Amino acid sequence: MSSLKESISRHIRAHGPMSLAQYMSEALMHPTHGYYTNETVFGSQGDFITAPEISQVFGELVGLWAADLWQRAGTPSPFQLVELGPGHGTLMADALRVTRVAPGFHDALHLSLIEGSPQLRLKQAERLAPSGIAPSWYDGLADVPDRGPAIIIANEFFDALPIRQYVFDGDRWMERRVGLNGQDDLAYTHMAGHPAESCLPSEPPKKGDVLETCMSAISVMRAISEQLLGTGGAALIVDYGYARPAYGDTFQAMRRHKFVDPLAEPGLADLTAHVNFATLARVALDLGLTVHGPVDQGAWLTRLGIGARTQQLVVAAKSPRQAENLAAASRRLVDSDQMGTLFRVMAVTSPNWPTPVGFEDAS
């Protein structure tokens, strides 16, 4: 048994079944045995691959998106460029490389990275060294010092935030928790519990319906919104998720590019849940921000010019094989049977900021 599984089991024996949220945060962020503090998690060698790891074009277009917005917002200086959960730092490295062309952008920016894993902070430092821009790292948005307006980027960050699950038994909601079965193995168990009213879809539940609530995502979204209201700015959120409140079990574990049982190997598999964009949008709207989208990632990247940029790279490729790989990587980000429609892009802006590129008719 892995040492993390052992420590989770001990905790359950002492305190009773734990919420899925607590299980997720132990499994992902435990300081010594957590998934993000341990494993080679991304890339073709790891357990899953993210858009910036698939193609340099993704981070490049996000960088140009940010620089364009900054220019149209009146080139505020200084301003904060913030990334939540930068992983290997690939998106930001690609973004900073292309934004050298935007006069004054690099001189104006302070780069803040929100990262919970010390090991990933080291990787990010390494990856960003060639940019010549020294980032500062923080545990949360609230720790970032105030240095003007903020442009905040989060790719595949919200799906890693802990959720709780509730199951409707025909009469009432029960919370699905992680306990121990007769063989002393981790197993789901149900206990009395009621989801926050604000998370309930408008149609009533049927027997067996599962509802997921994500209080951490809500509190991160609230922190983003408060920051943007205070200083001005914009946030870009890219993730897989659903655009309307809905029932459904989206809790999943991935190891070596395959789905596995989320309770089988805590700390060794990536645990995620689909992002509820409707709830995040509601938080921002209620606080007085403007919400753009969500729109499909494929459509958004197409509007940003992924076709032309890919063509440029294909023409400059060193071999036909490299050219084909570059084209295939872009197709993977855009095509609807790959990441193009599963992933969605949403932006949030403070009232005085312009509409960001890619959302012109999606507000």
Residue nearest to ligand SAH (CB): 85
The nearer residue to ligand SAH, 73 or 346, going by C-beta atoms, is: 346
Q: How far is the CB of 76 from ligand SAH (least distance, A)?
A: 25
The nearer residue to ligand SAH, 42 or 105, going by C-beta atoms, is: 42
Q: Which two tokens stand for residue 100?
A: 């050298």
The nearer residue to ligand SAH, 213 or 290, going by C-beta atoms, is: 213
Angle at 172 between CA 170 and CA 177, to 5 degrees: 105
> Which residues have CB under 8 Å from 335's CB, separation 6+?
298
The nearer residue to ligand SAH, 52 or 262, going by C-beta atoms, is: 52
The nearer residue to ligand SAH, 209 or 239, going by C-beta atoms, is: 239
The nearer residue to ligand SAH, 225 or 290, going by C-beta atoms, is: 225
Q: How far is the CB of 241 from ligand SAH (least distance, A)?
A: 14
Q: How far is the CB of 217 from ligand SAH (least distance, A)?
A: 10
306-316 vs 297-304: helix crossing angle, rounded to 10:
70
Under the rule (CB under 6 A), what is the footprint of ligand SAH? 28-29, 36, 42, 50, 52-53, 85-87, 91, 114-117, 120, 155-157, 160
Q: Check if the beta carbon of residue 351 is closer than 8 Å to that of residue 290.
A: yes
Q: What HEC string does 285-354 produce?
A: HHCCCEEEEEEEHHHHHHHHCHHHHHHHHHHHCCCHHHHHHHHHHHHHHHCCCCCCCCEEEEEEECCCCC
Residue 205 CA to residue 310 CA, distance in Å, equals 46
The nearer residue to ligand SAH, 189 or 216, going by C-beta atoms, is: 216
The helix/strand/coil state of 278 is helix
Q: How far is the CB of 236 from ligand SAH (least distance, A)?
A: 12
Q: What is the dihedral of CA 243, 248, 252, 257, to 10 degrees?
A: -60
Angle at 241 between CA 253 and CA 94, to 5 degrees: 85
Which DSSP state fits 177?
A: E
Residue 340 CA to residue 331 CA, distance in Å, equals 8
Q: How far is the CB of 84 from ligand SAH (least distance, A)?
A: 7
Q: How far is the CB of 107 from ligand SAH (least distance, A)?
A: 25
Q: How far is the CB of 182 from ligand SAH (least distance, A)?
A: 33
